[in-house]
Amino acid sequence: MPKQGLPTAELIDLAQQLRVDSIRATDTAGSGHATSSMSAAELAAVLLANHLRYDFDRPDHPGNDHLILSKGHASPLLYSLYRAAGAVTDEELLTFRTRGSRLEGHPTPRLPWVDVATGSLGQGLPVGVGIAMSGKRLERIPYRVWVISGDSEMAEGSVWEAIEHAAAEGLDNLTLVVDVNRLGQRGPTRHGHDLDAYARRLQAFGWHTVEIDGHDVDAVDRAYREAASTTGRPTAVLAKTVKGKGVDAVADQEGKHGKPLEDATEAIAELGGVRAVHVDVHKPSAARTLHAVPSGHLTLPRFEKGGEQVATRDAFGRALAALGAARGDVVALDGEVGDSTRTEYFGKEHPDRYFEYYIAEQLLVAAGVGMQVRGHVPYVSTFAAFLTRAHDFLRMAAVSRADLNVIGSHAGVAIGEDGPSQMGLEDLAMMRAVHGSTVLCPSDANQTAKLVAAMADLRGIRYLRTGRGATDVLYGPDEEFPIGGSKVLRRSDADRLTLVAAGTTVPEALAAADLVAADGIDVRVVDLYSVKPVDAPTLWTAAEETGCLVTVEDHHPEGGIGDAVAEAFADGRPTPRMVRLSVSSMPGSASPEEQLYGAGIDARSVAAAVRLMVEKGVVR
């Protein structure tokens, strides 16, 4: 193993190379953030050459450090680092931002050394907290997490959620490097070059801070050593830098953000020309595998069909606890509502794999993303309504190709008296529109349990929606519920329409079917527990045989089950008549029964709608 640690002159040379390469990449691309890369060149060079422990040939090495470029727009700097490390060729470097290149405008895990996508600011540190928590609390592997952040993004609240958590947990394996270049996109940042302003805040939260000239490679090196040797708390290296450093035409000037340099040739000459410094990056020590392998047989809770009513959130909690017993890789994260979401059941049985993130939903989701980077299988839970707080993190998790289970409880008006602030009424729209997501909406306890287990092995973002109140157990404990499936709960050859429901509205639809059957009207009932992917063939058959699909959902009219059903017919095939019953008015406080009635999605209202459709001749 070569001794790590370049001498000062070579570090300076490497930093200049990173600048030159950032200019070359953006110049060839005709776009990109040259000046934002240039300010952090020494910060990146010293990290790569003297501190990072990383095996570029084995990005899955469990001992690897994690480097997150939170200021993702400075991607040219990251790619230039990869070139210096020999991971990316000069030829590939110059494919930056072109179609098909792995070197995207903002980093994504299409590159094997990128853990998570960045580019939406203020996400790097929260994700880094999840990775650092994993190292400290789950794996006990001494890798370090290095987050390079911009100064502008320190305004994001998500960063302060992470700062609070990192200090409280004593994450001394986490280093935040802030490239304080004083200039944001449209002009000066709030604090300019006032490093103390950042230091005061971070110290108040319990961080160790080091303030340096970010262009002094020796100072940077000392700061990183100090960070690595500080125990019991995380360290922030606050580096005063110059945006566009090294090139007079752009240095420290407004209006130079997010664009290539006007005269790249002259700039490269000013920086001493193109170089080919290669860094033998220090490899990590051997480390054991990440976590206990799946350890036992899964024994899901079983609920008696037609027996005592059970809330799907209860079934979720019990199933998750059982899954945790069977699989060592499952972890649970909650936002201070574990007694409501029922993750507390998991927490009681597996306290070492249960993580309380308090009321900080952005961090909650980001930390889950961080933990899946390390190979864990996180289940992240809060109220469905409050998941909207983390929408940007869920969106970016998809860009990160993260595998993440997300659970939203207290869905819909069915929660009752608490009122609209607590009701998840847009969660299906939000989660369906996440790229590559799976969206599940179980209607009973056994179905919930089976889906909780099935989620663990899916790819991408998978969402499970649970309800607050106890509802009938509709299925036996041995029934199977494949992802992408549905259940036809009522059918006859005389069905005049099909009620398509999911979650709380399934028992309402069943009761409505009974009510209209008494009037001689047969209707089909489909339990659409898999909202995405949706069981198109069953819907096609229902459309063909009954001619009309009536969706019944405890959700706003847009983007939910009505849309999922419509999308199944968006391939040009003949389309049935459709009706959406959903929550279209603003609820207030009322009992769950009154709420469902008020929204027109209880059994009586659904039955009335069916009768009206028959009377008006809408159905056959």
Active-site residues, by number, are 361
Q: Rule CB under 8 A: which of 7-46 touch a second copy?
A: 29, 31-32
Long-range contacts: 231-234, Cβ < 8 Å, 24+? 231/172, 232/170, 232/172, 233/167, 233/170, 233/171, 233/172, 233/206, 233/207, 233/208, 234/132, 234/166, 234/167, 234/170, 234/171, 234/172, 234/174, 234/175, 234/176, 234/207, 234/208
Token pair, residue 134, equals 């994993």
Q: How far apart are CA 549 and CA 565, in angstroms?
A: 8
Q: Rule CB under 8 A: which of 559-578 touch a second copy?
A: 559-560, 562-564, 566-567, 569-578
- Cα 119 to its chain centre, rounded Å, is 14
338 is an interface residue for a second copy by CB under 8 A: yes
* Residues shown for the chain: 620
Torsion angle, alpha carbons of 113, 118, 123, 128, to 10: 10
What is the per-residue binding string for a second copy in 146-185, x denoting contact by CB under 8 A? Answer: ------xx-xxxxxxx--x---x---------------xx
| Chosen residue from 8, 285, 289, 589 binding a second copy by CB under 8 A | 589
Amino acid at 324: G
**Nearest one of 510, 511, 513 to 496, comparing CA atoms:** 513
Stretch that binds a second copy, among 41-49, 93-101, 225-233, 241-249 (CB under 8 A): 93-101
Phi, psi of 16, rounded to the nearest 5 degrees: -60, -40
| Chosen residue from 19, 328, 532, 596 binding a second copy by CB under 8 A | 532
CA angle (376 as vertex; 375, 382 as ends), nearest 5: 140
| Chosen residue from 62, 119, 130, 368 binding a second copy by CB under 8 A | 119
535 is an interface residue for a second copy by CB under 8 A: no
Decide: helix, strand or coil at residue 198: helix
602 is an interface residue for a second copy by CB under 8 A: no
446 is an interface residue for a second copy by CB under 8 A: no
Which of 52/543 has CB closer to a second copy? 543
| Chosen residue from 326, 429, 470, 517 binding a second copy by CB under 8 A | 429
99 is an interface residue for a second copy by CB under 8 A: yes
433 is an interface residue for a second copy by CB under 8 A: yes
| Chosen residue from 218, 392, 514, 522 binding a second copy by CB under 8 A | 392
Q: Rule CB under 8 A: which of 174-233 touch a second copy?
A: 184-186, 189-190, 200-201, 203-205
Neighbour order of strands in the sheet with 174-180? 66-69, 145-150, 174-180, 235-240, 208-213
Task: Give Dmax (Cα) for the chain.
Answer: 90
436 is an interface residue for a second copy by CB under 8 A: yes
Which of 304/418 has CB closer to a second copy? 418
Q: Rule CB under 8 A: which of 351-390 touch a second copy?
A: 358-363, 385-386, 388-389
* # residues near a second copy by CB under 8 A: 116
Instruction: Write out 470-538 in H/E/C secondary structure.
Output: EECCCCCCCCCCCCCCCEEEECCCCCCCEEEECCCHHHHHHHHHHHHHCCCCCCEEEECCEEECCCHHH
Distance of closest approach, residue 283 Cβ to a second copy, in angstroms = 30
Distance of closest approach, residue 593 Cβ to a second copy, in angstroms = 10
What is the per-residue binding string for a second copy in 409-428, x denoting contact by CB under 8 A? Answer: -------xxxxxxx--xx--
Task: Look at strands 524-527 and 487-490 and give their pairing.
Answer: antiparallel
72 is an interface residue for a second copy by CB under 8 A: yes
Distance of closest approach, residue 68 Cβ to a second copy, in angstroms = 14
Q: How far apart are CA 620 and CA 496, in angstroms?
A: 6
Tell me which residue has tokens 């002009």: 187
- Cα 592 to its chain centre, rounded Å, is 31
Which of 123/486 has CB closer to a second copy? 123
594 is an interface residue for a second copy by CB under 8 A: yes
| Chosen residue from 21, 27, 104, 602 binding a second copy by CB under 8 A | 104
Stretch that binds a second copy, among 44-52, 57-65, 505-513, 590-598 (CB under 8 A): 590-598
